[in-house]
Structure 1
Amino acid sequence: MAEGAAEAPLENGGGCDSGTGALERGVAPIKPQYLTTKEQFHEFLEAKGQEKPCRETELDIRGKLYLAPLTTCGNLPFRRICKRFGADVTCGEMAVCTNLLQGQMSEWALLKRHQCEDVFGVQLEGAFPDTMTKCAELLNHTVEVDFVDINVGCPIDLVYKKGGGCALMNRLAKFQQIVRGMNQVLDVPLTVKIRTGVQERVNLAHRLLPELRDWGVALVTLHGRSREQRYTKLADWEYIEQCVKAASPMPLFGNGDILSFEDANRAMQTGVAGVMIARGALLKPWLFTEIKEQRHWDISSSERLDVLRDFTNYGLEHWGSDTQGVEKTRRFLLQWLSFLCRYVPVGLLERLPQRINERPPYYLGRDYLETLMASQKADDWIRISEMLLGPVPPNFTFLPKHKANAYK
């Protein structure tokens, strides 16, 4: 699971938008009983006329800015915002393979791709080789993606105790079977996202990376924290630098604590092939522009409100403009606002740049809107949503899903 959403539940909102995907092309998700044999599986696909031509591709994203697959917040409207600000690579939210095989519509909606996402992947979570391989084969014939990523970084108990996410780092036999099985059925590159390890002082990544390379993984992203650490410590970029050599010649992307172009520059000096940005994008999606233009952007409160307005428009397009769509858009906006409030405007900082692990001080903005956007109170986030989506329904309440300890 990506940064900033460590405790988010697995249920997600769904919907349709322009772009490609299984639902849009009329391919209904299928139940596991239809996958009892490979022959039956292919008969089903041929009957639907959805057989994809076999194609071999390479994933060349060295030096690119990669938006992390962010549970809950990394929805399609948010990814459109990040693409507009310069994100090069995007990935759908973590999708649970068993939910996909069971035909859960909300899970299939996570695989939706917008036409602006020119380099796009999907991330799968699962604990068993048979279901992960079946799911990969199904996706290979029903969705158009540039890569498939295996989530081996999710720290939450619900996933870990079932043997998925971070637990796979300690289950090498199962992990190898999953990677080799998925690689056999995919026509696109397979990537993996991992952490430094499970326990805080027991690093595993450097030993695991050569294995992943030999198993046929095209690229690995390393989040510089263990499962136990969550966000209580800074990401260990010195260890990521050591892991670059262990992974070579397989590309290794680094992930953790990037909130400025200076942070990104230091990360690239470790020799990584590129950087993945997670919480930094939630705090300021214009970070991608700052990195590419090597500057600090003192974005105004009115410009930030315009970004939120665009998000709501994308949300209504994606989830629908009826009452249900409006409220779904509102709740995803509020989840994002619970991160955005941590941003401190450049013009108000005593020193540059802002650090991701430092709790923002209380401050008065340069205008009412800037002060409102800095509020840590859910009632104020709701007030901002009402500026864009109208009054909330009676008895409306909101509680952020994430419980990540982001500060010291």
Structure 2
Amino acid sequence: MESAVEVERGAAAIKEQFLTTKEKFHEFLASGRPRQSSDEPDGDSEPTAEPEQKKMKLDSDGDKKDKKRMRGQNKSRPHIKPHSYEERRLCTSIIQERDTKCFFGDKCRFLHDVSEYMSTKAADVGDQCYLYNTFGRCQYGVTCRFAKAHTSPELKNLLNEDLYKDCAGRDTTRNHLDKELQRQLRKKQVKFSGAEAYLKTINRGKKAEHKSAEESHASNEEEKQSGAGDAANGQQTKDGVDPPVKTVGPITDADIIKLRPCEKKQVDFSDKLYLAPLTTCGNLPFRRVCKRFGADITCGEMAMCTNLLQGQASEWALLKRHASEDLFGVQLEGCFPDTMTRCAELLNQNIDVDFVDINSGCPIDLVYKKGGGCGLMTRTSKFEQIVRGMNSVLDVPLTVKIRTGVQQNCNVAHKLIPEMKKWGVSLITLHGRSREQRYTKSADWEYIDTCSKLAAPVPLFGNGDILSYEDAMKARETGVSGIMVARGALIKPWLFTEIKENRHWDISSSERLDILRDFTNYGLEHWGSDTQGVEKTRNFMLEWLSFLCRYIPVGLLERVPQKINERPPFYMGRDYLESLMASQHVDDWIHISEMLLGPVPKNFSFLPKHKANAYK
């Protein structure tokens, strides 16, 4: 018997009693959602619509139906900075209740009158402040959106002395950018002795090659004439044997120590679950959530080496590490040996990490066209110089993340991996797709298996399409040393628990809301509990919800497990919250954020970085 609700090809198999139509689904959710004003978009409009999206022609009848390509990124999305949500901001000297006057005096552009600030401040979000309850003091004082929990009637910031003493000296977040270091980087006063020494060897090598090329051309005739004489004197070289390599300059003890791999910090990567370095969504609060569910290895978001060398605070923020991240690395992107080597030396001296990763798998045009990301896979000479240079200045292992190749039907990873072993890479992660494929095809685990044998004894991690413990078991049947999880962790961060306990977790909607609540608290701790921090937390939560909505509860599936490339059809959950979390509409994601962070500001606007239907 055919279902009353038509299910499109490629959709996940959901039990018939839960299926519904788009109209009924939106009508049901609208009944529990605050009414929209007339100037806001209608509930049936597509949240990810974009003027640039191309239209495709359709079928055999000759009728034209507009089908928008729902993949890639929303490149023209509006961007409103969180600090623009407040009309006037209070000066830091007043927030921190300093005895001294403001450093900028009359020239300060912030408010110094608390009463005036309170007259324009947005209403508090809740009665309890997570920072005050956790650490005994909220550093945001009256600007905190939960200020009523820790301010006196005289608008003074309260202190829980016992709790504050217990938390004093507890360093929950590390790898902050030192102000003096930032000043030196901006004035280009930082010295990179290790990097400079390595770069000189590259330059000497280039000069030697250039000189030898000129000499070989000039002495070609001489070599022919002297060949007979050499043979007579027993000096003829054997066929197939290269002449000895000439060294340029003396090798010092320092060079030998640097080149000795056993001197580096040893990290056991074997059979670990690795949370991929996810741009935008792989922030510190999200990594804390994944650590709680069993992720073994975490890595910061991709950081541009040039921005780090310039002392950009926003880029250095990507390097921050929480105390719960016991095996943590940072990922660098760059395309030149000089900047990458200097950046590696800078990080080696100033932050606490267990490994440094090179991103040679990033597919986006902005990075690739400059020669970085996947572009490094086609520039093996530069790639080698980068790896050898970074290895020479790092005291921790150097790892690399790559794809199968650039073109769809032209894999090159198997050729590159044996070379990377010679260069001194400590770990290789292989994403089973090419740059051209993006996410349109399934990951090629057979090819990953082949490459893992070529990589031995260097550990190789496989990455691609892991969304259940069954997917992880199949991946482990190959020769990989471990598994990296990317989109699977965004769709269901409890996946790490499922893999470690070999089970499908039919998690309830209330448990999922608790996960979002934990993320909210971690976000307020990381970005702040004032208006700027609240809205920044909200924005990152909404980015995450654009992936989280793809999860289909186990109890609703006709066939377990859910596959990562199967899109969910419209379905009703077992309660209102479960249905709300299944919505792919931006307004419903905002409604969920309002349940945890209060109403959005009047001028609030959001469009996700990645299209919600990227797999459609």
TM-score, normalised via structure 1 length: 0.91
Equivalent residue, structure 2, for 1:135: 343
- Which of residues 9, 28, 31 in structure 1 aligns to 2:186? 31
- Matches of 2:381 and 2:559 in 1, distance apart? 49
Aligned with residue 327 of structure 2, among 119, 139, 148: 119
1:73-93: CA deviation from partner (whole Å, max 9, x where unpaired): 000000000000000000000
Give the Cα separation in 2 of the matches to 1:185 and 1:37.
Answer: 9
Who is 2:173 aligned against?
Answer: 19
Q: Tell me, yes or no, if the aligned pair for 1:219 and 1:251 is still in contact at 8 Å.
A: yes
Q: CA 1:25 to 1:347, structure 2 compared with 1: closer, same or farther past 3 Å?
A: farther
| Correspondent of 1:79 among 263, 277, 287 | 287
Deviations 1:374-406 (Å, cap 9, x if unpaired)?
000000000000000000000311101124874
Q: How far is 1:361 from its partner?
A: 1.2
2:512 counterpart SS class: helix
Within a 5 Å distance, the mapping from 1:6-405 to structure 2 comes to 7=73, 18-23=172-177, 27-28=181-182, 30-31=185-186, 33-35=188-190, 38=193, 56-403=264-611
Moved more, 276-285 or 55-64: 55-64
Paired AA for residue 20 in structure 1: R
Q: d(CA) in 2 for partners of 1:6 and 1:145?
A: 32
Q: How far apart, CA to CA, are the structure 2 residues paired with 1:32 and 1:217?
A: 33
Deviation at 1:276, TM superposition (A): 0.2
Q: What is the rounded CA distance, in whole Å, between the counterparts of 2:186 and 2:502 in structure 1?
A: 49
**What's the offset of the Cα at 1:245?**
1.1
Cα separation, partners in 2 of 1:8 and 1:129, compared to 1, 3 Å: farther
Maintained 8 Å contact 2:269/2:459: no
CA distance, structure 1, for counterparts of residue 194 and residue 484 of structure 2: 39
Residue 401 of structure 2 aligns to a residue in which SS? strand
Letter in 1 for 2:504: H
1:212-263 CA distance string (max 9 Å, x none): 1110000000000000000000000010011011111111000000000000
Report the CA distance shift for 1:39/1:226 in structure 2 as closer, same or farther (over 3 A). Answer: closer
Report % sequence identity. Answer: 73
Post-superposition offset of 1:19? 2.1
* Conservation of the 8 A alpha-carbon contact between 2:279 and 2:301: yes
Return the offset for 1:27. 4.4
Mapped partners of 2:194, 2:273: distance in 1: 40
Q: What one-letter code is carried by the residue in structure 1 that aligns with 2:376?
A: L
Instruction: Tell me which amino acid in the other structure corresponds to 2:574.
Output: R
**Structure 1 residues 241-250 or 270-279, which shifts more?**
241-250
1:340-379 residue CA offsets vs partner (Å, 9 max, x unmatched): 0000000001100000001111100000000000000000
- SS at structure 2 position matched to 1:34: coil
Distance 2:194 2:404 in 1: 40
In structure 2, what is the Cα distance between the partners aligned to 1:374 and 1:129? 46
Distance in 2 of aligned mates of 1:295 and 1:331: 32
1:130 & 1:39 partners in 2: Cα distance? 11
Deviation sequence 1:112-150 (CA, Å, 0-9, x none): 000000000000000000000000000000000000000
Post-superposition Cα deviations, 1:299-329, rounded to whole Å, max 9, x if no partner, equal 0000000000000000000000010000000
Decide whether the 8 Å contact of 1:34 with 1:41 is kept in 2. Answer: no
Q: Do the aligned partners of 1:148 and 1:189 also contact (CA within 8 Å) in 2?
A: yes
Q: In the TM superposition, what is the alpha-carbon distance from 1:22 to its structure 2 partner?
A: 3.6
- Residues 25 and 36 of structure 1: CA distance in aligned 2, closer, same or farther (over 3 Å): closer
Q: Which amino acid aligns with 2:379?
A: R
Task: Report the TM-score, using the length of structure 2 for normalisation.
Answer: 0.61
Task: Give the whole-Å Cα distance in 1 for the aligned partners of 2:610 and 2:293.
Answer: 24
**Structure 1 alignment gaps of length 5 or more:** 43-53
Shift of 1:56: 2.4
Contact 1:147 1:191 in 2 (8 A): yes
Answer whether contact 1:232 1:406 (CA < 8 A) is retained: no
Matches of 1:25 and 1:91, distance apart in 2: 24
Q: Relative to structure 1, is the Cα distance of residues 201 and 405 closer, same or farther in structure 2, using a 3 angstrom cutoff?
A: farther
Structure 2 distance, partners of 1:79, 1:342, is 19
Matching residue of 1:46? none
Q: 1:50 is matched with which residue?
A: none
